[in-house]
Structure 1
Amino acid sequence: MYDPIPFKIELDYVTFSGWRWGKGNGQTVIALHGWLDNCASFARIAPGLAAECDLDIWALDLAGHGHSGFRPQGSYYHIWDNVLDLALLMDAQGWESIDLLGHSMGAAVATLMAGAMPDRVGRVALLEGIGPVATAAEDAPSQLAQAAGKYQLLGYKTPSLYASVEDAAEARMKGVGEISYEAALPLAKRGVKASDDGYLWRYDARLRIPSPVRLTEDQINHFCAAIDAPVCLITAEHGFLIDRENTRTRSAHVKDLICHCLPGNHHFHLEPDSCTEVLHELVSFWNGLETE
């Protein structure tokens, strides 16, 4: 097992931070966490995956999350901005091609990246996500209006304060995708900072604003169809993707896809009781041993 190596990568407009696992000479994998999480999302599976498959795993704090920088004032957080971040980060690091490991929102980013730049992506593992949230074309005006209204109220919001990191972890248990304390604590340790009055989450408050514009379901299907890489989609029995029609339709558009459904919740890769099975399937995928 490898202990994480902290890293920072400075681009012209934002600095990216994260944790890295691996010996430095294996296949490069960029790991992308979910909304309002951070790179600690992969703390239970990345060490074993790097060791078993000789991978060099770079788990990012996405822009506005964890220890990475915020987007400049006057800019916003669109899902596709993360794809541009990845392309520029690859150029800065001199990476011709990468593999992708994404959870939830990170899986949405990985889907778009693999579809938009198939020549730069080798393998893709998606945990509890395939493509982003969609908005029907006829709902686009109301979506934009809703986002504008939320931005107008942003300056009046007071961030939540917690007496300790542990209290922040307990609050995270009740957030999007309810998780156990054991899963929430690594996210809190990475994701909060001390202030004069207590602890507060590091993430940019603008991340909580609804997206001004979203892709349509048809557009997302075209991204899925453009993916050339082998894809492994792993869903949780008590996760977000079970019995969703768009999970089936999006999956049907991917040319080389294998699917697994495993016990656990939306954060099954971080939960102590379920992470081992997730790791097993990922190791099989990267070693070319995957089966239906």
Structure 2
Amino acid sequence: MQDPIPFEIKLEHMTLSGLRWGKEHSTEHQPPVLALHGWLDNSASFCRIAPILADRCGLDIWAIDLVGHGLSSHRPEGSFYHIWDNVIDINLLMAAQGWERVDLLGHSMGAGIATLMAGAMPDKVSRLALLEGIGPIVTEVEATPKQLAQSTSAYQLLPYKKATDYDEFESAVMARCNGFAKISYAAALSLTERGLRQSDTHWNWSADPRLKIPSPVRFTEAQVEAFCEQIQAPTCLLTAEAGFLTDRDNTATRSALVANLSHQVLAGNHHFHLEPDTAAVVAEALITFWQAKGLKCE
């Protein structure tokens, strides 16, 4: 199993970092795969399935640290983190790399970004694989004023909130285990190793604290459905039995609007692609998808 190759790509207004698997598979005929992680995660989110996909299907996988996460740049002072900004970032990255088309592999928030990208720029997305997400979180029209008020209040309070410091690396791993999405020690370790930075006396997260501020504005459900309707790429949606999408009505509604989508429910939690006990099954499901859509996988 191959080790990842770290990369750093300097764009005009930011630097995107990440991990790459399958460099030897790079070809003009097969588009690269951009892997997009979830909220407060980083590119190490794909450390279990990416090497399998690269080896078995000959994929060239670029797992990026989304802006504000991992080792990538933070947005300029005074900025918010709108989910659609990531679509702009991806488009700029593609232009810088000379990529006309890509395959997208997204988890959670990354799946939401991938959905928007595939709907807004269908000519640039060849295949779409979604893990535990289809479209972003929404705010309905009547709740929009409250959403803006909450975001503004949180932004004003941010300077008064002290960042969490850890005296030991192990303490940070345990904190990640018990975060918003509870995960195993092994899964948390992978994310923590990339997402933590060390000073002379302590450890703290490299992610921008502004990521925890609620978005001032979100899409409505009708708007997200409009993106789903515009997706042309063959799409694979994998959800977890103990994940976040199990009881969401809009999962089925959104899925039905995507012209060429297959949906499979697998064992595991929200990070089923990173958990040692379930990652291999997720990888096999993705191999089946890529193979069915034109690739020869071993």
> Which of 66, 84, 89 in structure 2 is aligned with 1:80?
84
Question: Shift of the alpha carbon at 1:133?
Answer: 0.2
Question: Shift of the alpha carbon at 1:289?
Answer: 7.1
In 2, distance between residues paired with 1:260 and 1:164?
40
SS at match of 1:102: strand
Letter in 1 for 2:16: F
Q: How many equivalent residue pairs?
A: 290
Question: Shift of the alpha carbon at 1:164?
Answer: 2.3
1:128-139 equivalence runs, <5 A = 128-139=132-143
Is 1:18–2:22 an aligned residue pair? no
Is 1:2–2:30 an aligned residue pair? no
Question: Shift of the alpha carbon at 1:233?
Answer: 0.2
Letter in 1 for 2:12: D
Cα deviation digits, residues 34-66 of structure 1 (max 9, x gap): 000000000000001011111100000000000
In 1, distance between residues paired with 2:61 and 2:41?
17
Partner of 2:152: 148
Is 1:94–2:129 an aligned residue pair? no
Question: Shift of the alpha carbon at 1:243?
Answer: 2.0
> Which of 114, 117, 120 in structure 1 is aligned with 2:118?
114
In 2, distance between residues paired with 1:84 and 1:173?
32
SS at match of 1:134: coil
In 2, distance between residues paired with 1:280 and 1:239?
19
In 2, distance between residues paired with 1:176 and 1:109?
20
Q: Is the 8 A contact 1:193 1:199 kept in 2?
A: yes
1:211-290 equivalence runs, <5 A = 211-288=215-292
Letter in 2 for 1:102: G
SS at match of 2:265: strand
In 1, distance between residues paired with 2:293 and 2:81?
37
Question: Shift of the alpha carbon at 1:196?
Answer: 2.7
Partner of 1:206: 210
1:58-77 equivalence runs, <5 A = 58-77=62-81
- 5+ residue gaps, structure 1, are none
Q: Is the 8 A contact 2:31 2:101 kept in 1?
A: no
Cα deviation digits, residues 208-263 of structure 1 (max 9, x gap): 00000000000000000000000000000000000210101111110000001000
SS at match of 2:240: strand
Give the TM-score normalised by the residue count of structure 1.
0.98
In 1, distance between residues paired with 2:127 and 2:180?
28
Question: Shift of the alpha carbon at 1:12?
Answer: 1.0
Cα deviation digits, residues 162-181 of structure 1 (max 9, x gap): 12222111000111211010
Cα pair distance change 1:67/1:121, threshold 3 Å: same
SS at match of 2:292: coil
Q: Is the 8 A contact 2:70 2:206 kept in 1?
A: yes
Q: Is the 8 A contact 1:232 1:285 kept in 2?
A: yes
Question: Shift of the alpha carbon at 1:77?
Answer: 0.4
Question: Shift of the alpha carbon at 1:268?
Answer: 0.4
SS at match of 1:287: helix
Q: Is the 8 A contact 1:27 1:54 kept in 2?
A: no
Letter in 1 for 2:6: P
> Which of 29, 33, 37 in structure 1 is aligned with 2:37?
33
In 2, distance between residues paired with 1:131 and 1:85?
17
> Which of 152, 158, 165 in structure 2 is aligned with 1:161?
165
SS at match of 1:65: coil
SS at match of 1:55: coil
SS at match of 1:58: strand
Letter in 2 for 1:205: P
Partner of 1:187: 191
Q: Is the 8 A contact 2:234 2:293 kept in 1?
A: no
Q: Percent identity?
A: 60
Is 1:125–2:116 an aligned residue pair? no
Give the TM-score normalised by the residue count of structure 2.
0.96
